[in-house]
Amino acid sequence: MPPTLRRSFYAQAPDVVARNLLGTMLVSRRGGTRTSGRIVETEAYLAEGDSACHAAKHRTARTEVMFGSAGIAYVYPIHAKFCFNIVCETNEIGCAVLIRALEPVDGVEAMKTRRGVDSLRRLTTGPACLCQALEIDRSVNGLDITTPQDVWVEANSKSSVESNRVRVTERIGVTSAEDLLLRFVIRDNPFVSGPARLR
DNA sequence: AACGGGATGGTT
DNA sequence: ACCATCCCGTTG
């Protein structure tokens, strides 16, 4: 079994973590079934100078875990769905990386059932889609993902992505700080979300 | 208590 | 382009 990414990996600036997560495997054992996918799209949300970050303004009940340890899951509800993030940096610094798309690997049949679709492409492309596929909901909020229990990330030497295979763009769906280049995708990967011009 | 806007996604 | 759906932060 490949090594699980540990806290020191996440205890860095979110744009660095977002970049380095590309090519690694997000794994879930939720529901008693292993489901996983290769991370192909991420977004960083910064503690400073980023008005789109949930923790940018005030420390509220919703964003509390963002101010805790690196490597903790931050799951928030939006439009009756969920998005999965990993907290970065040290305590008291509110920032995170949003996982936006995976290339399906393990548990494809379970993911198809959970998603209610048959198309591989529609299984884990999009932040709320991959949460449904991996059975990530609000009960995952605050869980430690540096141990292989519910949800974790696996990486080895083969999971690193060359710089010329990485594309950096503006983030999707944000209505402020739109110009910040904090979205990271594996170039030309068919499981990346969003409009074609951002792939 | 009420209100308005989402780090969405599926349909028209 | 539209909107289902519901949670959360803000305001009164």
Strand B contacts (Cβ < 7 A) comprise A 43, 45, 52-55, 74, 77-79, 81, 83, 85, 96, 98, 115, 117, 122, 126-130, 171-175, 193
Residue A133 structure tokens: 């596929």
Say what the pTM is: 0.98
User: Running DSSP on this structure, what letter comes out for residue A14?
Assistant: H
The gap between A164 CA and C7 C1' (Å) is: 40
Strand C contacts (Cβ < 7 A) comprise A 57-58, 60-63, 76-77, 79-80, 138
Residue A139 structure tokens: 């009960």
The gap between A125 CA and C8 C1' (Å) is: 26
Residue A182 has a pLDDT of 98
pLDDT digits (tens, 9 = 90+) for A53-80: 999 988 999 999 999 999 999 999 999 9
Residue of A109, A60, A79 whose CA lies nearest to A173? A79
pLDDT digits (tens, 9 = 90+) for A104-127: 999 999 999 999 999 999 999 999
The gap between A96 CA and C11 C1' (Å) is: 29
User: Running DSSP on this structure, what letter comes out for residue A173?
Assistant: S
